[in-house]
Amino acid sequence: MTPPPRDGRRDLPAFTTASQLPAPLRLVIPPEFEDANEHMNVSHYFSLQTKAVRWLMERLGFGADYRERHGHTLFTVEHRLRYLAEVKVGDEVSVHPALRVRTDKLLRGTSLLLNRSRNQISNTLDFDILHINLETRRPSPLSPELARVADEHIARAGTHGIEKP
């Protein structure tokens, strides 16, 4: 199965719809996150987003013991950050990761950083993650069980405005 193309112009869900997705991170932006332009520095957007994606992968069954038990792991092969609105010190944010599509070897998703103080989607992180056989160091099909779990998650995310590309 070939993954669908990425054009970066897909419509985002409404803020209220997106805020219903699970959010592993919620915080008020501290002063140390501010950069010279008086908004949150790019490194913090990326750090918050990747922490949320890691949480999602663990929730889907790719936890710390997955590597040892199965001889497989996940490699991130691409990140795409998009900035839509500033986040400033004192703003309350939450991060909402979701899968959008999968193939037998690839998981593709989006994580939304919501500025709850301003009711805005401030940032998105699109990600592509490959399932890797550690012996061959090559992409490998997901097990039927993990494929089923991923498919169920994708169906739930679709009810919250996270559409397939």
Could you read off the pLDDT tens digit of each residue along the chain, which spans 165 residues?
555 444 443 568 999 999 999 999 999 999 999 999 999 999 999 999 999 999 999 999 998 889 888 999 999 999 999 999 999 999 999 999 999 999 999 999 999 999 999 999 999 999 999 999 999 999 999 999 999 999 999 999 887 777 665
Is 31 within a domain?
yes
Burial class of residue 95 in the structure, from the number of CB atoms within 10 Å of its CB (0-12 exposed, 13-18 middle, 19+ buried): buried
Is 108 within a domain?
yes
Is 3 within a domain?
no
Cα→Cα distances 99→70, 108, 134, Å = 22, 6, 23
Spatial separation of the C-alpha atoms in residues 145 and 151, rounded to whole Å? 10
Is 66 within a domain?
yes
Q: What is the CATH number of the domain that holds 21?
A: 3.10.129.10
Determine contact, residues 51/25, Cβ cutoff 8 Å: yes
Spatial separation of the C-alpha atoms in residues 13 and 96, rounded to whole Å? 12
Is 24 within a domain?
yes
Is 2 within a domain?
no
Is 8 within a domain?
no
Determine contact, residues 57/149, Cβ cutoff 8 Å: no
**Domain, as residue range, for 135:** 15-158
**Number of domains making up the chain:** 1
Is 119 within a domain?
yes
φ/ψ (deg, to 5) at 135:
-70, -45
117-121: long-range contacts at Cβ-Cβ below 8 A with a sequence spacing of 24 or more?
117/90, 117/91, 117/92, 117/93, 118/85, 118/91, 119/15, 120/15, 120/84, 120/85, 121/12, 121/13, 121/15, 121/18, 121/84, 121/85
Record the pTM. Answer: 0.89
